[in-house]
Structure 1
């Protein structure tokens, strides 16, 4: 199927971990993994524990509470009830928002995991979930964990909520730094970056840490100040606000008005590979500040806070259409018109989200600081075009004004997980590209025809406008973002318990779909946080002309590549499992 956006387990842990042991480490340059002779002893871990504010954690698959079958080790009903709840998943150190990253593909092609569907008759395996880690609550916890990893040369992952379509926060037999409980929020109407001048004051919100704060919490905090912050939009608003989202660029349905997350970040604090806790802004470590804004999650250290500028609240309107198509020609006509709208709307600061195929189109538009009357004047001609083209005058549409962002968000959340769509708890991987302004403005018919050749695609209106007006070299983000008007993605999925062959074929289709999307993209660019593990050249697609500068910064601040992730800066120097240099 296609991917939709659609307790005490200590006694059970040894049985799970017994299935994940590996041979001894034969190469001193390789990372040390659980089960190898180089793995730290219990005495080593006990020594680490004395430096921490919390006990060490032993992450297990969330479905393990339902095993052994017939005599569950935990609260299986709680797991079943919350399986597709993003915030519940974020609270479990062993849970990932996409379940495929909990699993592991064995050398023979079979899949090891722990499935909620116990009737499959499959064993509950640890998969790619690290067997041990640190639940960091303080900066000192982070420093102790990072130094321990460096001392023992461990394969490291940094995890907060588990929202990651590249699986960068999972790794089999690795050591986990879990930042989910590193939470703090502070607002300063006259924030001055460290080292800045008195005339650099900015009304800003500082969020900690390593993504520990989620956007639902950040929005609640900024609402108390009657301010707006540019942030992520997802069901449950469970995405981390100070971690992978910002380091990958940080898009939003409000980006055309306010820019990307990287354009709104004023200052970071971060624990580097040597364990030092430093400030990165325009005055201190400016090279690292540049890299953190778009240079990719998991490559630079453990981010402990991000400070964002905030804005005055303004009214906004939302528009919506959900049409069906009687034949492919009608779909072509409507989507051609739809694609051609993007440059005009983004120039005016509009954003939003959509998906379509040859049978239907759903689109929601967000227009900040645009009156209801002006919204109607802009969007109703397109809605009328759709009604006429489809011959369906009763096509569901609406436009609605809101006092401000927070009123809109309250209305959205009152629908329950963004109207009931499920974004988590399934198996799937993405293929994506940015849509260039040229493709939308000068080749809308050709672009629409290409996108309609997929079973479905989704377009996020998260570029153009303020994004396009920013200096492409001001941050480490791929400069292709400044030539784009939107981000398009499609996906492949499978069911729990599907064979390795089924999963392999789905992944092969994703790899082909990445290449098929090339014609729409500026410089083969895409949004790395919603992208493919099968990029032909991730350096080109994720970083573009900025890659060599990012690589130089990486060598300076993390010369041993302690922080290493799939398709991250410097990962080309390591094998596929990121355990040994090549």
Structure 2
């Protein structure tokens, strides 16, 4: 399949003669900057043609996805434009496009499908390899290394920190790596002498959560996996992977026992506890697009659990009760360590005064308080629903006797629902985060001392975080996705995951809004507005700093953290593991074939305009 405005020889000739960037260069450019069209080290049309032939025609030259809505663009299609506009906010569109990502700012807003906006391909990769085998990945890595081309890796484009796209680059699209093998009676990693007991899944790094859960459910199994249908294994596992099941079973990366990957030298290797141990450790938590490109993962599966689910809502519509809201939020979240230990996990949202909330459309002045969608694993079918209700009874009893809630207060417990499998729960409650916007995420991890040591300080923190020009910008997500399973997992020292995950309970994230199950992560800002972008960056840094005061040494979840490289970002994302990760990076990738930001070992390069150059 070729997405093209012409084919390779004609396109490359145009890039060489028409590029507005550079038309000549000295021989030192190869050492100082990555090649771009117009520099002597940029591949010739014949080189691109040979690469395409070696890939059996899988080299794509995709147009910018919004071009169908722009008259004058070769792919303009007035009939197709309305369909694209309808699909632009949907996750499914972007993960099936070779270059599009879920959030516009990571392609620099260079071709949005809206009238009046500019459209060019300058924010997107120039060429894409639609890889379906490790061999395709290998050929792409070797070509990029040989010709000094900036290399990026895209899976679904579900990347909050912008590693899936870059200008003047060759992209390896691993979305179609979907191999599948179920091991029902143990698994023996290559070159290991022992067969691991239990059940395991070997799946391609492009495999997505909905497909994995659906196929494993037929065997009464599941994995520790992500909350979105389109999340794929590659980026999820390299970041560590938190889940509603993590407090019980551990982080997703804890369950990986073997990886097939393509190294920066273009070698296909197997990494596990018996060979290539350093790169195995580094990939699991060290971040994607950094050490190698994983093509296959083998990970442990679990019998699919029964789940009890409950929505709990404690809110007030009265603006003058704001003095109650923040102490109330502090008390509830102070109970999370004990609730997690007792088996609860879930996604909570701290709602400041005057927050719009669609569950109560008759409330016009907004509300404040607490909302949580939570689950517990049922010990048996007969344990429902007492298992989840009994966990909340003492918390609600304390609230009712401690906080002077008025008659207009709403304290709502939905009727608990039982789900016979994780797939059944996931089908009803999977993430429906919209795409097609500009966002900047932020957040940090909170451990038990941060949540229980000083409730006054915790309340003041929530109050400080609530201040902002828009009510929606002050909502805080408090994800209870860590606990005993993460803290004590036997493989906890076999991953490079940020060590403070092993003591934390909450992943606290800044979000831009909530509408039932639709959550807008991060601070949003309009496209092509540098002032608004700078203000969003300042808000994220400010709120990160406020949260940091509660737990200065914990850090942040790298897949959903602020991508702003302020001082100390290395320790914020990897803690004491960073030095070892950097040594491994320098060993396996001495010339930086892989580069991204904020990523391990990226200190030797920076993006200058549309070009990646040495510092």
Say whether the fold is shared (TM-score over 0.5): yes
Match of 2:197 in 1: 201
In the alignment, structure 2 segments of 5+ residues that lack a partner are 354-367, 466-473, 512-521
Cα distance, 1:67 vs structure 2: 1.2
- The residue that corresponds to 1:298 in the other structure is 289
- The 1:69–1:504 alpha-carbon spacing in structure 2 relative to 1, beyond 3 Å, is farther
Determine which structure has more spread, i.e. the larger CA radius of gyration.
2
Within 1, Cα distance between the matches of 2:61 and 2:74? 21
Alpha-carbon distance in structure 2 between the residues aligned to 1:101 and 1:443:
39
Shift of 1:513: 2.3
The CA distance in 2 between the partners of 1:255 and 1:179, in whole Å, is 26
Aligned equivalent of 1:580: 613
Matching residue of 1:252: 243
Who is 2:329 aligned against?
Answer: 335
Q: CA offset at residue 505 of structure 1?
A: 2.1
Render the CA deviation track for 1:153-188: whole Å, top value 9, x for unaligned.
111101111111110111111111111111112111
Given candidates 377, 382, 386, the residue that maps to 1:373 is 386
CA distance in 1 between counterparts of 2:38 and 2:215 reads 44
Aligned pairs (5 A) from 1:257-406: 257-325=248-316, 326=318, 327-359=321-353, 360=368, 361-370=370-379, 371=383, 372-383=385-396, 389=403, 390-391=405-406, 392=408, 394-398=410-414, 399-406=416-423
Residue 450 of structure 1: how far off its partner (Å):
0.7
1:84–1:462 Cα change, 3 Å: same
**Equivalenced residues, count:** 555
**Is 1:78–2:111 an aligned residue pair?**
no
> Which stretch of the first structure deviates more once superposed, 344-353 or 267-276?
344-353
Q: Does 1:185 align with 2:164?
A: no
Query: Judging changes above 3 Å, is the alpha-carbon distance between structure 1 residues 25 and 205 closer, same or farther for their aligned structure 2 residues?
Result: farther
Distance (Å, rounded) in 1 between the aligned partners of 2:169 and 2:279: 26
Tell me the distance in 2 between the aligned counterparts of 1:441 and 1:20: 59
Alignment partner, residue 32 of structure 1: 35
Q: Are residues 562 and 25 of structure 1, via their aligned partners in 2, closer, same or farther at CA, if it must alter by over 3 Å?
A: farther
Residue 144 in 1 paired to residue 139 in 2? yes
Counterpart secondary structure, 1:546: helix
Deviations 1:289-323 (A, max 9, x none): 11111111110111001111011122111111233
Q: Aligned-pair distance for 1:248?
A: 0.9
Q: Compute the displacement of 1:576 (Å).
A: 4.0
- Mapping of 1:223-238 within 5 angstroms? 223-234=217-228, 237-238=229-230
TM-score (norm 1): 0.89
Deviates more, 1:174-183 or 1:321-330: 321-330
Distance 2:476 2:604 in 1: 33
Q: Matches of 2:543 and 2:122 in 1, distance apart?
A: 27
Q: Point out where structure 1 has 5 or more consecutive residues left out of the alignment.
A: 1-6, 104-111
Displacement of 1:470 after TM fit?
3.4
1:432 aligns with 2:454: no
Out of 432, 437, 456, the residue aligned to residue 475 of structure 2 is 456
The match for 1:539 is 570
* 1:507 counterpart (537, 540, 547): 537
- State the SS of the aligned residue for 1:186: strand
CA contact 1:480–1:522 (8 Å) conserved in 2: no
Q: Flag the 1:36–1:510 CA change in 2: closer, same or farther, 3 A.
A: farther
RMSD (Å), alpha carbons: 2.5
Whether the 8 Å contact between 2:187 and 2:195 is mirrored in structure 1 is no
Q: Deviations over 1:175-208 (max 9, x none)?
A: 1111111111211112221122344233101110
Is this contact kept in 2: 1:432–1:488, CA < 8 A?
A: yes
1:70 and 1:154 mapped to 2: Cα distance? Answer: 26
